[in-house]
Amino acid sequence: MPELPEVETVARDLNRVLKNHVIKKVVVRVPKMILPLSAEDFGSGLKTWSIEKVSRRAKIIVINLSKPKAKAKKFLLIHLKMTGQLIWMPKIGQAVIGGHPQPGGGHNLPHKHTHAEFHFQDGSVLYFNDMRKFGWLKLVTESEKEIILSPHGVEPLAKDFSLTIFTNLITKYPNRTLKHTLLDQKLIAGLGNIYVDEACFKTGVLPTRPVHTLSRSDLTKLHQEIVAVLKLSIKKKGTSARNYVRADGTKGGFVPYLNVYGRAGLACKQCGNLISKTKHAGRGTHFCSKCQK
DNA sequence: GACAGTGTTTACTC
DNA sequence: TGAGTAAACACTGT
């Protein structure tokens, strides 16, 4: 499931290959996933515009668009939600190098989960796949972009993510559990189920702890571990636990580094105790009852 | 073959 | 006001 490191990886991949590419044609198969809702308006609003850069804010891909004579810039915002994929191919339907066939991704694009296609003047194509159709694509102006992006909290990899700011955010709701708080996108942007569980493990605290029970040193450690796990995962190009793939269709390499997520019933890498799994804050929650207190 | 589980976000109720 | 839950959807594992 795309969280910060996965979205960051896709954004970086796309920024490298798509820069200065001019959109020739857009195909939309599921209009309810786009804004404006009419496939014609969406397509005509993108045609002849070129990709200036691709970046990320929270879990949202931000594509800056420009056009020589246009007065204002435009932005294409894309949220992958649970199962969204953005796969770029140098030529239409060209087989993915190094990728493996898998549900909702890989070879032979477009397929039944391809809901939008962006064709560029050089013949390359960007495919948007989303098995569960939770994702969305929005073509917006600068001010509309701000309305969508601004409710999100601090970027955990930004310079301003200091221990002080982190502590202030975390302790804003002292009675909430740690997991609930870390998943709150309005406080810290980009953390999801995988990295919350992983950061809690590395810190040695249970995700179910109410925030007010955490010591000063717990918070210091947690702050460091959140940054560390995100950075390491980006270095490994993300976690392909299920559907996530990179922009070239290949998988991320972070799964071997997971300590608790997806490891219920397996031995803790640190102490050998079996990893537990419960449901908390509406999500599967993984932890080692020996290493985490 | 039915059905719970998978996790992001929004909208809704209590 | 905050917490909890359902819903959007489709596939996997039991």
* CATH, residue A11: 3.20.190.10
Token couple for A39:
């496939």
Q: Which of A255, A178, A267, A186 is nearest to A218 (CA)?
A: A178
Catalytic residue among A56, A57, A59, A176: A59
Nearest nt by C1' to A194 Cα? B7
Same-domain status, A169 and A139: no
Give Cα separations from A10 to A87, A284, A287 (angstroms): 9, 25, 28
pLDDT, tens digit only, all 293 positions of chain A? 899 999 999 999 999 999 999 999 999 999 999 989 899 999 999 999 999 999 999 999 999 999 999 999 999 999 999 999 999 999 777 655 444 334 334 458 899 999 999 999 999 999 999 999 999 999 999 999 999 999 999 999 999 999 999 999 999 899 899 999 999 999 999 999 999 999 999 999 999 999 999 999 999 999 999 999 999 999 999 999 888 999 999 999 999 999 999 999 999 999 999 999 998 888 999 999 999 99
Q: Which of A123, A149, A175 is the last residue of a domain?
A: A149
Same-domain status, A199 and A227: yes
The verdict on whether A269 is a catalytic residue reads: no
What sign for the dihedral angle of Cα A222, A224, A227, A228?
negative
Torsions phi, psi for A202 (to 5 deg): -60, -30
Asked if strand B comes closer than 7 Å to A199 Cβ, the answer is no
Give a yes or no: residue A236 inside a domain.
yes
Same-domain status, A13 and A140: yes
Give a yes or no: residue A155 inside a domain.
no
Asked if strand C comes closer than 7 Å to A103 Cβ, the answer is yes
Token couple for A87:
């796969």
Same-domain status, A121 and A202: no
Same-domain status, A145 and A42: yes
pTM of the model: 0.94
What sign for the dihedral angle of Cα A238, A293, A277, A156?
negative
Asked if strand C comes closer than 7 Å to A282 Cβ, the answer is yes
Same-domain status, A33 and A120: yes
Asked if strand B comes closer than 7 Å to A283 Cβ, the answer is yes
Predicted pLDDT at A96: 52
Q: Which of A121, A149, A177 is the last residue of a domain?
A: A149
* CATH, residue A202: 1.10.8.50
Same-domain status, A76 and A192: no
Domain count, chain A: 2
Give a yes or no: residue A92 inside a domain.
yes
Specify the residue for token string 């969204």. A84
Give the span between the Cα atoms of A87 and A51, in whole angstroms.
Answer: 16
The verdict on whether A81 is a catalytic residue reads: no
Same-domain status, A182 and A123: no
The verdict on whether A3 is a catalytic residue reads: yes
Q: Find the domain containing A46 and state its range.
A: 4-149
Give a yes or no: residue A156 inside a domain.
no
The verdict on whether A40 is a catalytic residue reads: no
Nearest nt by C1' to A195 Cα? B7
Q: Which of A85, A119, A149 is the last residue of a domain?
A: A149
